[in-house]
Amino acid sequence: MFKYLWGEVLKGVLRNKCANTLLLFICLFSITPLFASDPTLTQKKPIRIGITSVILDQKQQFLETWKAYFEARLNQPVEFVQRDSYGKITSHLLKGELDFGWICGYPYVQHQSLLNLVATPLFKGKPLYQSYLIVAKTDTETHSINDLKNTVFAYSDPDSNSGYLYAQYSLRKNDINPESFFSQTFFTWQHENTVEAVAVGLAKAGQIDSYIWESMKQQNNPFIKKTRIAHKSEPFGFPPLVATKTISPQLQKSIQHILLSMRNNAQGRRLLEQLNIDGFKITNKELYDDILKMHLFIEKQKHAAS
Amino acid sequence: MLLRNLSFRYKLPFCIILASTLTASVAIMVVSWQYYQDNKQALIQHSHELGGSMVDMLSWSVKNNDIWHAYTLLRGDKKNALSTPIRALILLDNQKTVFASNHPNEFPVGATLSDIATGPNQYLNNALKIFDTHKETTLSTDKHLISALPVTSSGISYGSLLIIDSYDSIVALFKKTSLLALFVVLLTICALIPVAWLWGKHITNPLLSLESCISKVGKVPFDEIQCATTYDNDEIGQLGRQFESMVSELKKKSELENQIIRADRLATAGTLAAGVAHEINNPLAGMLMAVDTYKQYCRSEDCHHRDQARASIDLVERGLAQIKETVSALLVNVNAKDKPLTPIEIEDVFTLVMPKTHNKSITFEWNNGIHNTINISASPVRQVLINLLLNAIEATAPNGSISSHIHTEKNTLIITIKNDGDEMTAEQLEHLFEPFYTTKQSGNGLGLWVTYQIVRNLGGSISVGRIGTWTIFDIILPITSKDITE
């Protein structure tokens, strides 16, 4: 059962790292009346957590556990809001329709004045991850994105650092226009889909989140076996859990406390293990400066071109 | 040919199984072929339904340049992604290039239809013919069924969807179904074998029993032919009853023949009686003279001429002995008993027949080569011998000659009767052994027929021929190993 949950959760996380992270963090904050003994719990306003749809579609049981975990500690109901892209989650956060969201570093740096950093997951002991350029295992000639001229390329999500921004930046810093460099590009909307697109030959290559790729590999995902990493980026800040500026500092602190203390109890460790992360850490916005720089570089180029 | 010589015991089950197998095979072929055609039709229908259901979504994909969306639509279940799809789905844009497919390695994004219609996919060149029709079209090649559906939305064309089905799947299904049907049929036939075997046995058992009965005809007396089987009302039962009826008739005929033979024997005795009477009369005259002589010599109790008296008595004694011998020979002929043939009984025949030859002054050559008892029924042999000798005497002119030779050779008794009478005509020879056929005014025409029946009953043969002036009857009778009760 434990193994199943772990696998299921991990698979969900892999689909969209930022959204997954958001979802899981939001879970941590959630308290619903389902498992609470306090009858007043149902009368309180639920904490709304934005996540990507994929996770909730397939990981309902895991999320119920997380809800129970957080609701028991917050004495407040939790509500998950599922959407199918980073963009929609970010949009809901900005409109105040969500309290928390697990988003990618790229939308965070674009809207950091409107969002608070709550916590950052620790992957392999650090709050960092990379962007991988992946190709089919049979492709032994590609070693960088520059080798992919006139090919079909798969991006994960236009609001993803590792699945879009970094690829754009890699080309543009070499004065290559990504719009004309590839013969075809498309978005798969989830990192896991990018792996499939490359594995089945729909795209020659794709750019994805290292955390997703490594976790899929750990799961012996069949698509991963058909791909290889052609290039790894420098490390970036791991997708954070963010909160809107409108939530109370007390609630944010409570959430931070619960997240940071997860490593200290068995249930929390089990949930962390299922997420394939080591824990959470409070980080500052400077962790995402590299992503911000890439964003600004591209914006500048686009502006210059227009 | 082999089947013709085979017993019904095996032929019947074999034919049942063969007929069942052939019927089942034809049924399987017809049903399977219909199944194949239905599947093919269902495949075409399904292709169009599937394509039709996806057209709107695919239009959206092309319109929004969302390759992934199109791919996931074409791919279906994610679990199918890594396996080669049975049905290839290729979405082509208006430039006839692949926008997405469910088998990207074979039909890659951006490739033109001409690019992919090579190697094993050459059949796709046919698709070019139906590509521009802008309506649902289906084309069948040797191994593939290609359907082309226009991808349009709100009257705007976004490309075409090619749906390629391989007949392999239908053929595989066809084979699987046929094999399953064949397996079921084989099982049924296996179950049918013991049933057919028992049925064959049920049908052939009365036949075999009947055949066993029929085979006894001519080998054993009719009384011993007992068919114990009870007969049904079917053809075999009717045949059995007819056979029993026939045996019954044959039995009656046989009894009638025996009666005729018996009557013939008595008639022969009558024929012989005159000669026998003469044989008796002759010694009687001598004996009367002897009695007179005795009286002369022995008028009183005192016999003066004892020697002459004694001679007279001896004469009487010899005469009585001769009478006894003659009467005995005749009585044996009348009171037939089944006993082995002795040399004396053959000599009796000579005794009985010999007087008849005297009437016509016929020279009678008698040669009896039998010196021991022979294991052959005496009465019928005597009857045969007498009949043939009387027939020879009848056929012989006065002062003619007849001859009789009797001897054994190996395990047979051979009787040869010759006469030098007139030669028989071809017509006489042809009808010689038929009943009531006679050339004589006094005869009843049964003598030679009876002779023939007796010889046949004894398992022997009779033949008639002519050598020189002699008409010759040859009889060969087997000496049986069976004990003949005396």
CB contacts of B108 in chain A (<8 Å) are: 152, 201
C-alpha distance from A299 to closest chain B C-alpha (Å) = 23
Q: Which residues neighbour A76 within 8 Å (Cβ) at sequence distance 6 or greater?
A: A30, A31, A41, A44, A45, A46, A47
C-alpha distance from A201 to closest chain B C-alpha (Å) = 5
A172 and A203 belong to one structural domain: yes
From the candidate CATH numbers 3.40.30.10, 3.30.450.20, 3.30.470.20, 3.30.70.20, the one assigned to the domain spanning B2-174: 3.30.450.20
State yes or no: pLDDT of A278 exceeds 90.
Answer: yes
A229 and A250 belong to one structural domain: no
The segments of chain B whose pLDDT lies below 50 read 486
CA–CA distance from B163 to each of B76, B280, B285 (Å)? 14, 127, 136
Q: Write the residue in B68, B81, B82 that is nearest to A186 by C-beta.
A: B68
Q: State ipTM.
A: 0.82
Look at residue A290 and tell me if it is in a domain. no
Look at residue A111 and tell me if it is in a domain. yes
pLDDT at position A33: 37
Q: What kind and span of H or E run contains B357?
A: helix B343-359
Sign of the dihedral defined by the CA atoms of residues B203, B206, B208, B211, in that order: negative
User: A276: helix, coil or strand?
Assistant: coil
pLDDT at position A127: 96
pLDDT at position A279: 93
Q: Residues, chain B, total?
A: 486
Per the rule left: phi > 0, alpha: psi between -120 and 50, beta: everything else, B42 is: alpha
Describe the strand order of the beta sheet including B98-101 as a list of residue ranges.
B98-101, B87-92, B156-166, B144-153, B137-140
- Label residue A168 exposed, middle or buried (CB < 10 Å: 0-12, 13-18, 19+): buried
Total number of domains in chain A: 2
CA nearest neighbour of A239 among A7, A13, A8, A6: A13
pLDDT at position B175: 85
The counts of H helices and E strands in chain A are: 13, 13
pLDDT tens, residue by residue, A181-224: 999 999 998 899 999 999 999 999 999 999 989 988 888 889 99
A71 and A149 belong to one structural domain: no
Tokens 């039995």 appear where? B251
pLDDT at position A116: 94
A106 and A207 belong to one structural domain: no
Question: What's phi and psi for B480, nearest 5 deg?
Answer: -80, 155
A115 and A189 belong to one structural domain: no
A25 and A84 belong to one structural domain: yes
pLDDT at position B4: 74
pLDDT tens, residue by residue, B17-74: 888 889 888 988 888 888 888 888 888 888 888 888 899 999 999 999 999 999 999 9
Which tokens belong to B274?
């005159």
Look at residue A25 and tell me if it is in a domain. yes
Please check whether residue B125 is in contact with residue B23, taking contact to mean a CB–CB distance below 8 angstroms. Answer: no
Tell me what percent of the residues of chain A surpass a pLDDT of 90: 62
CATH code: domain of residue A207: 3.40.190.10
The Cα–Cα gap between B412 and B381 comes to 12
Q: Write the residue in A184, A188, A197 that is nearest to B110 by C-beta.
A: A184
Question: Cβ separation of A202 and B82 shorter than 8 Å?
Answer: no
pLDDT tens, residue by residue, A5-33: 334 444 444 444 444 444 444 434 443 33
Q: Final residue of a domain: which of A208, A233, A258?
A: A233
Host domain of residue A17: 2-123+239-284
Radius of gyration for the alpha carbons in chain A, expressed in angstroms and rounded: 19
CB contacts of B81 in chain A (<8 Å) are: 196, 199-200, 223
The Cα–Cα gap between A264 and A283 comes to 19
CB neighbours (10 Å) of residue B19? 11
Q: Identify the DSSP state of B220.
A: B
**CB distance from B354 to chain A under 8 Å?**
no
A260 and A223 belong to one structural domain: no
Which tokens belong to A250?
């007390």
CB contacts of A187 in chain B (<8 Å) are: 66, 68
pLDDT tens, residue by residue, A110-151: 999 999 999 999 999 999 999 999 999 999 999 999 999 999
CA nearest neighbour of B384 among B291, B456, B320: B456
CA atoms within 13 A of residue A102's CA, in its CB half-sphere: 30
The Cα–Cα gap between B158 and B161 comes to 10
**CB distance from B112 to chain A under 8 Å?**
no
A111 and A246 belong to one structural domain: yes
A185 and A219 belong to one structural domain: yes
Ordered by start, the domain boundaries in chain B are 2-174, 217-335, 337-486
How much is the pTM?
0.60
C-alpha distance from A222 to closest chain B C-alpha (Å) = 8
Please tell me which residue of chain B has the smallest CA distance to A197: B68
State yes or no: pLDDT of A83 exceeds 50.
Answer: yes
Question: Cβ separation of A201 and B78 shorter than 8 Å?
Answer: no
Q: Write the residue in B65, B66, B104 that is nearest to A200 by C-beta.
A: B104
pLDDT at position B90: 93
Look at residue A306 and tell me if it is in a domain. no
Q: Write the residue in A200, A201, A202 that is nearest to B67 by C-beta.
A: A202
The Cα–Cα gap between B442 and B421 comes to 18
DSSP state letters, A51-115: EEHHHHHH-HHHHHHHHHHHHHHHSS-EEEEEESSHHHHHHHHHTTS-SEEE--HHHHHHSTTTE
The Cα–Cα gap between B282 and B302 comes to 30
In CATH, what is the architecture of B337-486? 2-Layer Sandwich (3.30)
Question: What's phi and psi for A223, nearest 5 deg?
Answer: -70, -35
DSSP state letters, B363-381: EEEEEE---S-EEEEHHHH
Look at residue A296 and tell me if it is in a domain. no
A91 and A222 belong to one structural domain: no
B52 or A168: which leads in pLDDT: A168
